[in-house]
Amino acid sequence: MQGLSASSKLSLAVLVVVFLLSLESSASAAHSRRRLVSDAEDEPCNKMTLYYHDILYNGVNNTANATSAASTKPTALSTTHWKNGTYFGTLVTFDDPMTVGKALPAAGEEPVARAQGFYLYDKQESYNSWFGFSIVFNSTAHKGTINLLGADLMDQKTRDLSVVGGTGDFFMTRGIATLQLDAYEGTVYFRLKMEIKLYECYV
Ligand SMILES: *[C@@H]1O[C@H](CO)[C@@H](O)[C@H](O)[C@H]1NC(C)=O
Ligand SMILES: *[C@@H]1O[C@H](CO)[C@@H](O)[C@H](O)[C@H]1NC(C)=O
Ligand SMILES: *[C@@H]1O[C@H](CO)[C@@H](O)[C@H](O)[C@H]1NC(C)=O
Ligand SMILES: *[C@@H]1O[C@H](CO)[C@@H](O)[C@H](O)[C@H]1NC(C)=O
């Protein structure tokens, strides 16, 4: 801008301001959501606690109840190199019920949401996994999805997944979900407590 005179600098500045104002007004005319952002960890703009129930197919007699199943076999690397087998490379697909309380819904009752996606065992030496899934809401209370992904570092008591986006009631949201093992029964069932805190909300 060195070559510009003071008056042309001023008119350029006015032009930029007018342009930004017109962008702003056309944006707010197009929709009416307000963006809430919080950078205080203990002050999310929305939060909820949900329980995730993973009922694994046991390969025998629970086809009616199972909500998840291995979609791949462990890799040859895992089964030949590691004698103890850590499922390295196994991908499990799930369509799991999610509830507000700890109990599974009684027969005929709808869960509050479903968790749909996969986890993948991704460590050779020990059990460790990676999650990618959506929490799908389709009730009178909520419609839309919250999309999560990240490392499930299984040797830690709690682990954080990223909430990378959302749709519907959770339009464009972002946040953190803290996972914790809450109960398990052998290799056929486990329940995770998920504390979901959203730090970017469009309301
Ligand atoms: C289902 O199969 C499992 C594993 O083989 C067995 O422990 C269980 O008793 C069986 N349950 C029924 C109801 O048959
Ligand atoms: C499915 O679950 C119901 C209730 O939890 C139980 O009564 C039934 O035995 C289960 N069926 C199988 C095949 O596991
Ligand atoms: C599997 O075996 C390796 C060594 O062969 C060991 O370092 C690792 O701790 C074992 N993992 C489990 C889960 O037992
Ligand atoms: C959502 O619920 C409605 C009403 O129960 C049903 O018709 C529809 O198929 C459901 N949609 C999904 C994606 O499950």
Instruction: Indicate if 28 and 40 belong to the same structural domain.
Output: no
Residue tagged 């309380």 (tokens): 101
* Both structure tokens of 86: 């850590």
Question: pLDDT value at position 7?
Answer: 52
Pocket probe mutation, ligand 1, options 58, 62, 185, max atoms within 8 Å of Cβ: 58
* Both structure tokens of 174: 């972002």
Instruction: Indicate if 48 and 11 belong to the same structural domain.
Output: no
Query: Can you give the C-alpha Rg of the chain in angstroms?
Result: 23
* CA–CA gap between residue 67 and residue 54 (Å, rounded): 7
Classified as helix, coil or strand, 139 is coil
- Tally of domains within the chain: 2
Residue whose C-alpha is closest to residue 145's, from 92, 196, 179: 196
Residue whose C-alpha is closest to residue 114's, from 139, 89, 87: 139
Provide the strand spans (E) within 56-124. 68-70, 91-99, 113-121
Question: pLDDT value at position 30?
Answer: 63
Pocket probe mutation, ligand 3, options 77, 79, 81, 82, max atoms within 8 Å of Cβ: 82
Instruction: Indicate if 119 and 169 belong to the same structural domain.
Output: yes
Domain hosting 196: range is 36-202
Instruction: Indicate if 21 and 105 belong to the same structural domain.
Output: no
Instruction: Indicate if 102 and 15 belong to the same structural domain.
Output: no
Closest atom of ligand 2 relative to the 107 alpha carbon: 4
- Domain with residue 62: its CATH number is 2.40.480
Q: Which residues touch 182 (CB under 8 Å, ≥6 apart)?
A: 51, 102, 191, 192, 193
pLDDT in tens, the chain (203 residues): 445 455 555 454 544 444 544 445 555 556 689 999 999 999 999 999 999 999 999 999 999 999 999 999 888 888 877 777 788 999 999 999 999 999 998 877 889 999 999 999 999 888 899 999 999 999 999 999 999 999 999 999 999 999 999 999 999 999 999 999 999 999 899 999 999 999 999 99
* CA–CA gap between residue 100 and residue 84 (Å, rounded): 36
Question: pLDDT value at position 38?
Answer: 97
Instruction: Indicate if 3 and 63 belong to the same structural domain.
Output: no
